[in-house]
Amino acid sequence: MEILGIKFVPLNEPLQKRLQTLAAGAAVFTMIFGGFIGFILLAYLIFYTRYWSVALLYILWIYVLDVKTGERGGRGLNSVRSWLWWKYLRDYFPIRLERVPWVELDPERNYLFCCFPHGILPIGPFSAFGSSWGGFQELFPNHTPHLLTLRHNFLMPALRELILSTGMCSASANSLNYLLGYPGGGKAIALVVGGAAEAFNCKPGQYKIILKKRKGFVKIALKNGTPLVPVISFGETDLYNQVDNPKGSLIRCIQDKLKDVTGIAFALPVGCGLFQYSFGIIPLRRRISTIIGRPIEVKRVSNPTQEQVDELHAEFMKQLANLFEEQKYNYLSNPEQTKLIIE
């Protein structure tokens, strides 16, 4: 049904699909605004209610007693990872997780899964590594997944408790070294290497990732002797249209400046709404296929040279490009015209 150029959701839309849309909207709203809402709630409790003492104790808990949890392996609650909410989120697109043939993980080793592209929000990696509904533990039952996110997210009231409860940890170097050095193995660490800056490149049908100058994760992998696993989420860039923002434009300059100051990518996405398809912050209903490639063996080097870092980085870029070229014919509608562009 279309009125004044706006396409509305049909009145006979099945309840299941409405719940999926609600789950996707709630997830995106939480990711974008959850931290700010937490601050507002704390301020309200302190200044307008008799529970100010509880709020102050919570502040003490966040910034003094529990401030390093995100750097020290986090904490995971299976009851949160298995919330039905995440199932509806997965089915909205839908999202599926697969591995290329013959990929197995040594249960006594830790692995660094390097995920591309970031997209506006890395929904494919979250479903795979941050939720029990993504299917990771069915593929690799001997490994516990931890998705990494920006360190400042663990300073956000309320939001930090949610992401910690899904097993998420900080993307800092200290956190990576702690997790990859975990004795006995069994850790699967997922890092979205391109980070927030990659969101500005996110447009339907385009796979432009940021990797050429990002070598810190390679150096950490060498120090810990951790295999690198390339991961590609086909369809991740199709979830939103985006206001045109070529490099050098005023919009892009403002976006880059805000990202440098806050660490947050203020992209201008165009999705859909709860009751119409024409605009909004809810992602579009597009299939996401997250593909796990073959691990790249890494020998432990206590003090890797720049030459060793560059060599492994070049090998990783090669394997990532090969994975994209091999698998794009299975998941893209126009594979011949779609290329992986590495910046």
- Written as one string, the DSSP assignment of 10-71 is PTT--HHHHHHHHHHHHHHHHHHHHHHHHHHHHHHHHHHSTTHHHHHHHHHIIIIISTTGGG
- Cβ proximity of 214 and 255 under 8 Å: no
Which of 40-49, 103-112, 207-216, 265-274 bottoms out in mean pLDDT, i.e. has the lowest? 265-274
Instruction: Give residue 240's identity as a one-letter amino acid code.
Output: Y
pLDDT at 263 over 80: no
pLDDT at 254 over 70: yes
Q: How far apart are CA 204 and CA 119, in angstroms?
A: 10
The whole-number pLDDT of residue 82 equals 93
Summarised one tens digit per residue, pLDDT across range 149-203 is 999 999 999 999 999 999 999 999 999 999 999 999 999 999 999 988 888 888 8
- Give the residue among 303, 299, 322 at the shortest CA–CA distance from 312: 299
Count how many domains the chain has.
Answer: 1
Q: What are phi and psi of 191, to 5 degrees?
A: -120, 125
Q: How far apart are CA 177 and CA 166, in angstroms?
A: 20
* pLDDT-derived band at 5, boundaries 50, 70, 90: confident
Q: How far apart are CA 221 and CA 298, in angstroms?
A: 7
pLDDT at 122 over 80: yes
Residue 204: helix, strand or coil by DSSP? coil
- Give the residue among 131, 134, 115, 221 at the shortest CA–CA distance from 167: 131
* pLDDT-derived band at 251, boundaries 50, 70, 90: confident
* pLDDT-derived band at 262, boundaries 50, 70, 90: low
Instruction: Give residue 82's identity as a one-letter amino acid code.
Output: S
The whole-number pLDDT of residue 201 equals 84
- Which residue range forms the structural domain that includes residue 98? 2-342
Q: Return the number of other C-beta atoms located less than 10 Å from residue 52's C-beta.
A: 14
- Cβ proximity of 239 and 271 under 8 Å: yes
Task: State percent of the chain over pLDDT 90.
Answer: 79
29-37 own/partner pairs: CB under 8 Å, 24+ apart: 29/281, 30/159, 30/162, 31/121, 32/121, 32/281, 34/156, 34/158, 34/159, 34/162, 35/153, 35/156, 35/157, 35/158, 35/159, 35/160, 36/156, 37/158
Residue 104: helix, strand or coil by DSSP? coil
Threshold 0.75, pTM exceeds:
yes
pLDDT at 325 over 80: yes
- Give the residue among 74, 337, 9 at the shortest CA–CA distance from 205: 337
Residue 288: helix, strand or coil by DSSP? strand
H/E stretch holding 231: strand 228-234
- Give the residue among 97, 173, 149 at the shortest CA–CA distance from 265: 149
**What's the whole-number average pLDDT of the chain?**
92
pLDDT at 115 over 80: yes
